[in-house]
Amino acid sequence: MGSEKSVRRVKALVAGNWKMNGLKESKREIRRLAKKLDTGGKPKCDVLICPPATLIGLLREEAKGTGIAIGGQDCHAKASGAHTGDIAAAMLRDAGADYVIVGHSERRTDHHETDEMVKAKAEAAWEADLVAIICVGETGDERKAGETLAVVGRQVTGSVPEGAMPKNMIIAYEPVWAIGTGLTPTAEDVAVAHGHIRSLLTERFPETGKAFRILYGGSVKPGNAAELMAVPNVNGALVGGASLTADDFYGIISAAYL
């Protein structure tokens, strides 16, 4: 009971991942979201938007004084150098980011990122004073083979660096088969996966394991957000498609008013 309570007290984070979407005009969604947050009452969760890197500076300006934080979607593991097309964590920080997503399944698939690479990116994020949101999650085939917990456990163990603390690292559990598909695991399945991640964190970081935020991601919408965020050890959401419009994203943020 005591431990359940302390897990529950972790402040939720609702984070939007805009992926490769958004132009300068998208700043109006920030304005619209800020208005909703202003009139709807102070959210019980932290709110973050991770736009494409080209928009970080602009959205940071737009979000000033609104409580909406801005983050990046990926960073290179190195601080600088000959890596055409890549972006360093310090550049994200310099542009106005406070967080960065690393190890998203689209990066793991499209760019063949390994746990070792994700771990190095999380360390690079810390060097630049960014909070690293480390994504993990099983594919549909792995789920069908009954390997969900083994895969997620291996990713958490391999991707989370030794220096992880609740203030510098967040886990996002995102079943790959649920991303952008409209499918979601049952609340029971989410509870099992998040419970497993929580126990790995508490085993490895006995002092702080209960205080890490573990977000659920994968087809979160205004209509299912309350149920998903009420699951034990779910401390918020990482949202793709439904974060692109202020209306939907606010609907999800409101569900964290539990």
Q: Is the CB of residue 185 less than 8 Å from the CB of residue 175?
A: yes
Supply the minimum distance, in Å, between the C-beta of residue 220 and ligand PEP: 5
Catalogue the long-range contacts made by 114-118 (C-beta closer than 8 Å, 24 or more residues apart): 114/158, 115/154, 115/155, 115/157, 115/158, 115/159, 116/158, 117/77, 118/155, 118/158, 118/159
Residues of this chain, 5-64, that bind ligand PEP according to CB under 6 A: 17
Interface characters, 149-178, with ligand PEP (x: CB under 6 A): -------------------------x----
Residue selected from 48, 117, 239, 253 as contacting ligand PEP according to rule CB under 6 A: 239
Supply the minimum distance, in Å, between the C-beta of residue 249 and ligand PEP: 11
CA distance 236 to 169: 14
Q: Is the CB of residue 123 less than 8 Å from the CB of residue 167?
A: no
Please confirm, yes or no, whether 174 is among the known catalytic residues: yes
Between strands 169-173 and 213-217, the pairing is parallel
Supply the minimum distance, in Å, between the C-beta of residue 217 and ligand PEP: 4
Please confirm, yes or no, whether 112 is among the known catalytic residues: no
Which residue among 113, 174, 194, 196 is the active-site one?
174
Residue selected from 22, 51, 72, 241 as contacting ligand PEP according to rule CB under 6 A: 241
Contact between 148 and ligand PEP (CB under 6 A)? no
208: closest CA among 173, 158, 167?
A: 167
Residue 23 CA to its chain's centroid (Å): 22
154 or 221, CB closer to ligand PEP? Answer: 221
Contact between 180 and ligand PEP (CB under 6 A)? yes
Contact between 100 and ligand PEP (CB under 6 A)? no
- How many amino acids of this chain bind ligand PEP (CB under 6 A)? 13
User: What distances in angstroms separate CA 172 from CA 83, 132, 152, one per listed residue?
Assistant: 27, 10, 11
Ramachandran region of residue 23, left (φ > 0), alpha (ψ -120 to 50) or beta?
Answer: beta
Residues of this chain, 209-238, that bind ligand PEP according to CB under 6 A: 217-220, 238
205 or 216, CB closer to ligand PEP? Answer: 216
Q: Is the CB of residue 167 less than 8 Å from the CB of residue 99?
A: no
Write out the catalytic residue numbers. Answer: 104, 174
Residues in contact with ligand PEP by the rule CB under 6 A? 17, 174, 179-180, 217-220, 238-242
